[in-house]
């Protein structure tokens, strides 16, 4: 990881620690991205340490404590900070445990689909010719599939479970990676240094690992991060529709679905699991946005220029738009 | 030389760009003027500030760049400040027009040639669509494009580079401007086309009585076309003279170096000389004369910035060495610091 | 042009073939249509009879060919739930879905262009940063959740709009807004960023040097170029709405469209209806892709369809 990331940052000769320090300092300048990363780390910690943090068993029902509002409302108590649901289960504990399904599915799908997509993309881009046009035709066709609808049909036939979900989402989401990787491989192969490496007789394996993979790292990282948010939203939607995570397991989407019948009397039941999804996806988006810009020197310069221009404009009392100057 | 009533006067113009690495001083105290019918060549290597000068005149310096000092006047009225910017908008495209370096990217790829030509006259001369189309045909014919009526319906990608530059020129002269700024108009073109485009500009200048500012890195281009030449280096004008004087008696060591490194068919030389070193960073320019680090004749005075001084007949240069050569008695130099 | 459309149709045919193969393999090889469609109480004879009726006792290849033949004839079998041809149900519900999509995506398209342009005029300014922040938040909200929040706020608390169903134009507002929110966010961010890029292009400088007005530079020169990527993304949004988002939104608002019907078919184990819906949507997506290519050709003269 460290060796690959240096390729996107200028001349980090002085080793990984200073690089990481500079990276953190630069991140700190972009407050939303820094907060995003912090929230992501918190959510990951929450998922890992769920049994230690959660005050209750997420499945423990309590008929005497049904539909309790959050603590700060009349009728609420700090025994259930975020209230309880229609079966008296603690909302906070369910939110904490729910992060597990989201992250597990998100990470596994990105890993599976990403690995498969990158391999296919490398293959198509490197082999070129017939193989390439065949593989890309396949990608084109699968991209035109009616996504979630087909997933719903498949899941309803096979039977819903977390494993089904991971497999089906991975099988339907590898194409982005393949396209991206193939495009990069095609353009990198035309550069002089790869041609030179091939001319002097480097084996394909060496060419791929030494010359092509480093160029892939940052774009693939960006795609993978963005795909992660798509998968989280897809998982939530499918679970909400009842074809994803099945009870007694918990998932934020599933909890929102269960709370649907109570929206007239207990708004908190849909609010907190929903906010958890928003917080996760938003944090990842904020961080991904920053990674994309920071990995690209040109974008970096543009970002700086815009900030300067905006500062100057504010100082000048905000006149003159760009093109009319 | 000193023609009455200059069209455009640029005085002590400074432009800087704020980048992540620091402030780039792109133009430093640039002054020149141009009168009706005159041709001024601005010469320099890339990064010397030629194009920024043109963009400043056309009001195209965008944030993070800004004009931070000096003045520009069109027929006596300033183009800076709120009032000046409004005045500038009313004359740009109409009285002052510009031809850009790269005709490939300067035309909107999605609009027809006709649309892009007509919009100029419709805006500035208030022509109707039909009148504008008629005028557009005339213009295309005037810049030597055959079958103009058919070209109007075509898109830029259907034309060759030379054709596109002709279209750009047609657009620039659409409102019969008084000043045409041509920013490296031939750099992106094939050599054979280059001569044609330059001929076209010269011909139009004669016909329309245009003043032309020709920006180029190619001294050969300047020699044939320009009355006067300004040589730019590191965001400054280092020498400005009548074309003949400049080519026969270049005063500034940089100009001399440029001339020596320009191939010529007339004189058989054993080898071309190149100027050692690279231009200074505009981020953190060295003190004194910007050419000092590369200058073969630099001496202790060059640690101070030389002023422009009339060191040759019909021209001036910013160089202590040239000044001492021109006036060995050093009569007035005591005041320079 | 003609040969281009033919080629795209051929590619579309491959898509439909791919969907067919997927559905066939999943339902016949991985799943068991009989146990899916018949109630648990069905006897062994009933099961065998049903399997014979839908041809499950024949070899797979024969089954597949029959499957294809029925498809060409638009014969998806009878919906078990509605007791009439599945395709009839599709044709009945499709207009409702299209109405919802036109309203939702139309709103997103109309609002995103001015919002994106305003943000792009002063990149880094307050309006711009606000737009980007709201856009990112919009992209981060699951639609089913937004829909439920809308119901809680506008229908339950403020009692301004109906909670669900279809009928008056007021019924359309919340589902359309919910459906349009994600596309609105994504399209606005796209208009903003590609507008910023276009405004830095050389041809914009040339247009400014020609002394053109701001409205002409933005509205004609820059916007025309922004439209290319805008159209790409709009098409992509339309396809993902058709292929999934409508299911979610229609379920939340009980909007009687194809998406809600798909969920009902799944709950009732109505495989034939589900297949009919999936194929109709796949077919629509193929048509949309062809229409998009033609639209590109109209905007961008550089594209050579052949």
* CATH code (residue C172): 1.10.3720.10
Residue C41 lies in a domain: no
Choose from A187-191, B220-224, C205-209 the range with maximum mean pLDDT.
C205-209
Spatial strand order of the sheet with B8-19 comes to B22-34, B8-19, B65-74, B77-78
Predicted local distance difference test score (pLDDT) of residue A18: 60
Type and span of the H or E element at B43: strand B39-43
- Backbone phi, psi, residue B28, to 5°: -130, 110
Question: What's the mean pLDDT when you consider all of chain A?
Answer: 81
- Residues in chain A with CB shorter than 8 Å from the CB of B58 are none
Least Cα separation, residue C136 to chain B (angstroms) = 26
- Which residues of chain A lie closer than 8 angstroms to C278, CB-CB? 146, 149-150, 153
Q: Please state the φ and ψ torsions of residue A191, each to the nearest 5 degrees.
A: -75, 155
Coil, strand or helix at B298: coil
Of C218, C274, C282, the CB nearest to A145: C282
Token reading at A76: 């609420």
Task: Identify which of C190, C182, C154 has the alpha carbon closest to the alpha carbon of residue C244.
Answer: C182
Confidence at residue B269, expressed as pLDDT on a 0 to 100 scale = 56
Check residue A146 and give its pLDDT. 83
- Name the domain count of chain C: 1
Q: Do C249 and C99 meet the contact criterion of CB atoms below 8 Å apart?
A: no
**B105, C212: Cβ pair inside 8 Å?**
no
Q: Work out the average pLDDT over A280-290.
A: 90
Among A47-56, A70-79, C87-96, C210-219, the range with the most confident prediction by mean pLDDT is C87-96
Range A197-219 average pLDDT: 77
Comparing CA positions, the residue from C219, B78, C208 lying closest to residue A325 is C208
Q: Do A146 and C286 touch (CB under 8 A)?
A: no
Stretch B97-114: mean pLDDT, rounded?
88
pLDDT in the model for residue B270: 57
For B171, which residue in chain C has the nearest alpha carbon?
Answer: C210
Higher pLDDT among residues B269 and A60, named by residue: A60
Indicate the pLDDT class of residue A322, thresholds 50, 70 and 90. very low
According to the model, what pLDDT value does residue C144 have? 93
Domain that residue C95 falls in: 86-299
Please give the helix or strand (H or E) that residue B25 lies within, else none.
strand B22-34
Distance of residue C123 Cα from the nearest chain A Cα, in angstroms: 6
A281 has a pLDDT exceeding 90 = yes
Residue A279 has pLDDT above 50, yes or no: yes
CA distance C47 to C51: 6
Share of chain B residues as helix, strand and coil, in percent rounded to the nearest 5: 35, 25, 40
Across chain C, mean pLDDT equals: 87
* C151–A323 C-beta distance less than 8 A: no
Q: How far is CA A137 from the centre of its chain?
A: 27
At A238, list the tokens. Answer: 């499918």
**Is B81 an interface residue toward A (CB < 8 Å)?**
no
Judge whether C288 lies within some domain.
Answer: yes
Q: Under an 8 A CB cutoff, do A308 and B85 touch?
A: no
In sequence order, which residues have a C-beta less than 8 Å from that of residue A2 and are 6 or more positions away?
A: A16, A19
Name all domains of chain A by residue range, CATH numbers in brackets. Answer: 26-52+61-296 (1.10.3720.10)
User: What value does the mean pLDDT take over residues B195-219?
Assistant: 86
Report angle CA B166, B171, B172 to the nearest 5 degrees: 95
Residues of chain A positioned with their CB less than 8 A from the CB of C285: 144, 146
In sequence order, which residues have a C-beta less than 8 Å from that of residue A246 and are 6 or more positions away?
Answer: A160, A161, A254
pLDDT of residue A73: 78
Mean pLDDT of A72-81: 78
Nearest CB among A270, A278, A314 relative to C148 is that of: A270
On the question of pLDDT at B145 being above 90, the answer is: no
Q: Are strands C84-85 and B236-242 parallel, antiparallel or unpaired?
A: unpaired
**What percent of chain B shows pLDDT beyond 70?**
92
Distance CA C154, CA A232 (A): 27
> Mutate which of C122, C214, C285 to disrupt the A interface (most A C-beta within 10 Å)?
C122
Average pLDDT over residues B322-333: 63
Give the pair of three-digit tokens for residue A155: 């899941």
CA triple B285-B287-B291, angle to 5 deg: 70
- B partners (3+ CB pairs within 8 A) are A, C
Question: A190 vs C203, which has greater pLDDT?
Answer: C203
| Residue C2 located in a structural domain | no
3-state SS class at B65? strand
- Say yes or no: B89 contacts chain C, CB-CB below 8 A: yes
Q: How many CB atoms lie within 10 A of CB B327?
A: 14
Q: Which of A161-170, A217-226, B259-268 has the highest mean pLDDT?
A: A161-170
Residue of B nearest to C301 (CA): B110
Say if B124 is an interface residue toward chain C (CB within 8 Å).
Answer: yes
Compute the average pLDDT of residues A175-200. Answer: 83
Q: Within a 10 A sphere around the Cβ of C216, how many other Cβ atoms? A: 15
Query: Tell me, what's the pLDDT at B337?
Result: 40
Q: How far is C124 from chain A (nearest CA, A)?
A: 5
Chain B residue with minimal CA distance to A320? B82
pLDDT digits (tens, 9 = 90+) for B134-143: 889 988 888 8
- How many other C-beta atoms can be found within 10 angstroms of the C-beta atom of residue A167? 17
Of residues B20, B62, B89, nearest to A301 (C-beta): B20
Q: Residue C187: its pLDDT value, please?
A: 95
The total number of residues written for chain C in this structure: 306
- Let me know the angle formed at the C-alpha of C299 by C298 and C300, rounded to the nearest 5 degrees: 100
Angle ∠(A265,A267,A269) on CA atoms, nearest 5: 105
C-beta separation of C56 from C63 below 8 A: yes
DSSP string, B162-192: HHHHHHHHHHHTTT--SEEEEESTTTTS-HH
Mean pLDDT of all residues in B207-223:
85
- H-helix or E-strand containing A322? none
Which of these ranges, B11-25, C193-207, C273-287, has the smallest mean pLDDT?
B11-25
In C, which residues are within 8 Å of A144 by CB distance? Answer: 12, 15, 239, 282, 285-286, 289
Chain A positions in Cβ-Cβ contact with residue C30 (cut-off 8 Å)? 157-158
Q: State whether A158 and C271 contact (CB < 8 Å).
A: no
Pick the residue with more confidence: A108 or C78? Answer: A108
Q: What is the pLDDT of residues C249-278, one digit of tens each?
A: 999 999 999 999 999 988 888 888 888 898
For B55, the closest chain A residue by CA position comes to A325
**CB crowding B20-45: b at 16 or more within 10 Å, else e:** eeeebbbbbbbbbbbbebbbbbbbbe
Chains that touch A (3 or more CB pairs under 8 A): B, C
8 A C-beta contact, residue B215 and residue B51: yes
* Span C26-37, average pLDDT: 76
Q: Is the pLDDT of residue B1 over 60?
A: no
Q: Is the pLDDT of residue A318 over 50?
A: no
**pLDDT cut 70: percent of chain C above it:** 99
Alpha-carbon distances, residue B288 vs B301, B305, B330, C22 (angstroms):
8, 4, 19, 76
Count CB atoms within 10 A of the CB of residue C296.
17
Place of tokens 């543009």: A302
Six token digits for residue C199: 């405004």
State the pLDDT at residue B139. Answer: 87
What is the rounded CA–CA span in Å between residue B291 and residue B285? 10
- In a domain, residue C29? The reply is no
Using alpha carbons, list the distances in angstroms from residue A300 to A66, A165, A221. Answer: 53, 38, 17
Given a contact cutoff of 8 angstroms between Cβ atoms, the answer to whether B303 and B337 are in contact is no
Task: Tell whether C52 is covered by a domain.
Answer: no
Q: Is A36 helix (H, G, I), strand (E, B) or coil?
A: helix
Chain A nearest CA to C30, separation (Å):
6
Residues of A with Cβ-Cβ distance to B81 under 8 angstroms: none
Interface partners of chain C (CB pairs < 8 Å, 3 or more) are A, B
pLDDT higher than threshold 50 for residue B2: no
DSSP B92: B
pLDDT of residue B57 exceeding 80? yes
Cβ–Cβ under 8 Å, residues B74 and B5: no
Closest CA to B252 of B294, B283, B303, B215: B294
Summarised one tens digit per residue, pLDDT across range B272-294 is 667 777 777 777 777 888 888 88
Does residue A3 register a pLDDT over 70? no
The whole-number pLDDT of residue A77 equals 78
Contact B108 C302 (CB under 8 A): no
pLDDT band at A5 (very low <50, low <70, confident <90, very high): very low
Question: How many whole angstroms separate alpha carbon A103 and alpha carbon A276?
Answer: 12
Contact B93 C220 (CB under 8 A): no
What is the C-alpha separation between C300 and C304, in angstroms, rounded? 9
Distance from A20 to chain B by nearest Cα, in Å? 20
Cis bond upstream, residue A248 (ω within 30): yes
Q: Please choose, from the candidates C213, C220, C253, C225, the residue with its C-alpha nearest in 3D space to the C-alpha of residue C97.
A: C253
Which of A294, A302, A305 is most worth mutating to test chain B (most B CB atoms within 10 A of its CB)? Answer: A305
Question: Based on the number of CB atoms within 10 Å of its own CB, is A186 exposed (0-12), middle (13-18) or buried (19 or more)?
Answer: middle
Q: Give the closest residue to B293 by CA, choosing from B333, B233, B214.
A: B233
DSSP, residue by residue, chain C: -HHHHHHHHHHHHHHHHHHHHHHHIIIIIIS-HHHHHS-TT--HHHHHHHHHHTTTTS-HHHHHHHHHHHHHTT---EETTTTEEHHHHHHHHHHHHHHHHHHHHHHHHHHHHHHHHHHHHSTTSHHHHHHHHHHHHHHHS-HHHHHHHHIIIIIIIS--S-SS-SSSHHHHHHHHHHHHHHHHHHHHHHHHHHHHHHHTSHHHHHHHHTT--HHHIIIIIIHHHHHHHHHHHHHHHHHHIIIIIHHHHHHHHT--SHHHHHHHHHHTT-HHHHHHHHHHHHHHHHHHHHHHHHHHHHH-TT----
Statement: residue A249 has pLDDT above 60? yes
pLDDT score for A317: 52
pTM score, whole prediction = 0.85
Residue C301 predicted with pLDDT over 70:
yes
SS3 B99: strand
| Structure confidence at residue A12 (pLDDT) | 39
pLDDT at C303 over 80: no
pLDDT at A7: 41
Minimum distance, in Å, between the CA of residue C301 and any CA atom of chain B: 6
């Amino acid at each position: 990881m460290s060796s690959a990331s240096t390729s996107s940052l200028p001349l980090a000769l002085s080793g990984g620690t200073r690089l990481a320090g500079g990276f953190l300092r630069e991140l700190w300048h972009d407050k939303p991205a820094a907060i995003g990363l912090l929230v992501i780390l918190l959510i990951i910690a929450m998922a890992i340490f769920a049994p230690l943090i959660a005050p209750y068993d997420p499945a423990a029902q309590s008929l005497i404590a049904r539909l309790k509002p959050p603590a700060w409302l009349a009728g609420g108590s700090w025994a259930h900070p975020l209230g309880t649901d229609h079966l008296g289960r603690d909302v906070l504990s369910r939110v904490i445990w729910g992060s597990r399904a989201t992250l597990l599915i998100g990470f596994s799908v990105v890993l599976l689909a990403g690995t498969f997509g990158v391999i296919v993309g490398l293959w198509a881009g490197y082999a070129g010719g017939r193989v390439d046009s065949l593989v890309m035709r396949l990608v084109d066709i699968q991209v035109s599939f009616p996504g979630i609808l087909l997933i719903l049909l498949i899941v309803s036939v096979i039977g819903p479970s977390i494993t089904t979900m991971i497999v089906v989402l991975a099988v339907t989401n590898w194409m982005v990676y393949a396209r991206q990787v193939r495009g990069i491989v095609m353009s990198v192969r035309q550069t002089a240094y790869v041609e030179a490496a091939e001319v002097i007789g480097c084996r394909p394996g060496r060419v791929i690992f030494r010359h092509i993979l480093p160029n892939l790292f940052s774009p693939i990282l960006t795609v993978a991060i963005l795909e992660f948010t798509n998968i989280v939203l897809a998982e939530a939607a499918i679970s909400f529709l009842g074809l994803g995570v099945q009870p007694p397991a918990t998932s934020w989407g599933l909890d929102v679905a269960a709370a649907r019948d109570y929206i007239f009397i207990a708004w908190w039941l849909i609010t907190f699991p929903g906010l958890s999804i928003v917080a996760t996806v938003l944090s990842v988006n904020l961080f991904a946005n920053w990674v994309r810009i920071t990995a690209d020197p040109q974008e970096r310069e543009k970002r700086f220029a815009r900030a300067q221009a905006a500062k100057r404009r504010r100082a000048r009392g905000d006149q003159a738009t760009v093109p009319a100057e | 030389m000193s023609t009455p009533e200059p069209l455009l006067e640029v005085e002590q113009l400074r432009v800087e760009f704020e980048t992540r690495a620091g402030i780039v001083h792109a133009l430093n105290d640039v002054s020149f003027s141009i009168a009706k019918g005159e041709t001024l060549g601005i010469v320099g290597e890339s990064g010397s500030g030629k194009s920024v000068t043109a963009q400043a005149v056309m009001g195209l310096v965008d944030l993070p760049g800004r004009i931070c000092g000096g003045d520009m006047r069109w027929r006596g009225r300033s183009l800076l400040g709120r009032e000046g910017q409004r005045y500038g908008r009313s004359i740009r495209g109409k009285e002052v027009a510009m031809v850009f370096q790269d005709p490939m990217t300067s035309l909107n790829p999605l609009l027809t040639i006709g649309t892009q030509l007509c919009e100029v006259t419709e805006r500035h001369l208030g022509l109707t669509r039909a009148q504008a189309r008629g005028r557009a045909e005339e213009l295309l014919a005037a810049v030597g494009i055959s079958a103009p009526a058919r070209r109007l319906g075509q898109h830029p990608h259907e034309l060759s580079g030379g054709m596109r530059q002709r279209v750009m020129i047609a657009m620039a002269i659409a409102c019969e401007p008084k000043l045409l700024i041509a920013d490296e108009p031939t750099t992106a073109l094939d050599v054979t086309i280059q001569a044609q485009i330059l001929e076209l500009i010269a011909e139009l200048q004669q016909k329309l009585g245009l003043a032309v500012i020709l920006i180029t890195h190619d001294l050969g281009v300047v020699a044939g076309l320009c009355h006067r030449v300004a040589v730019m280096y590191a965001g400054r004008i280092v020498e400005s003279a009548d074309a003949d004087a400049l080519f026969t008696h270049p005063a500034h060591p940089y100009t001399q170096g440029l001339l020596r490194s320009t191939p010529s068919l007339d004189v058989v030389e054993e080898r071309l000389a190149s100027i050692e070193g690279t231009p200074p960073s505009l981020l953190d320019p060295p003190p004194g004369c910007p050419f000092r680090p590369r200058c073969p004749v630099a001496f202790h005075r060059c640690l101070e910035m030389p002023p422009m001084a009339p060191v040759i007949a019909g021209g001036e240069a910013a160089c202590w060495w040239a000044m001492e050569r021109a006036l060995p008695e050093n009569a007035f130099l005591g005041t320079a610091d | 042009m003609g040969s281009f459309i033919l080629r795209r149709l051929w590619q579309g045919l491959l898509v439909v073939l791919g969907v067919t193969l997927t559905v066939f393999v999943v339902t016949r090889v991985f799943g068991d249509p009989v146990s899916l469609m018949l109630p648990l109480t069905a006897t062994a004879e009933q099961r065998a009879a049903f399997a014979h009726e839908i041809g499950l006792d024949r070899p797979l290849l024969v089954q597949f060919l029959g499957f294809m033949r029925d498809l060409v004839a638009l014969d998806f079998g009878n919906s078990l739930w509605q007791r009439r041809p599945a395709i009839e149900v599709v044709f009945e519900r499709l207009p409702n879905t299209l109405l919802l999509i036109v309203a939702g995506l139309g709103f997103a398209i109309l609002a995103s262009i001015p919002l994106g342009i305003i943000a792009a005029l002063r990149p880094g300014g307050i309006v711009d940063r606000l737009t980007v922040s709201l856009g990112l938040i919009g992209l981060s909200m699951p639609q089913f959740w937004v829909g439920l929040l809308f119901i809680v706020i506008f229908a339950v608390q403020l009692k301004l709009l109906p909670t669900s169903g279809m009928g008056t134009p007021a019924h359309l507002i919340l589902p359309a807004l919910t459906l349009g929110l994600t596309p609105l966010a994504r399209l606005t961010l796209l208009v903003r960023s590609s507008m910023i890029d276009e405004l830095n292009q050389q041809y914009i400088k040339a247009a400014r040097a020609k002394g053109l007005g701001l409205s002409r530079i933005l509205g004609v020169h820059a916007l025309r170029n922004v439209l290319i990527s805008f159209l790409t993304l709009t098409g992509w949004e339309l396809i993902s709405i058709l292929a999934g988002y409508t299911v979610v939104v229609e379920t939340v608002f009980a909007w009687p469209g194809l998406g809600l019907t798909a969920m009902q078919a799944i709950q009732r184990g109505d495989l034939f209806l589900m297949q009919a819906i999936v194929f109709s949507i796949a077919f629509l997506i193929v048509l949309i892709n062809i229409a998009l290519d033609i639209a590109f050709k109209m905007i961008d003269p550089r594209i050579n369809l052949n």
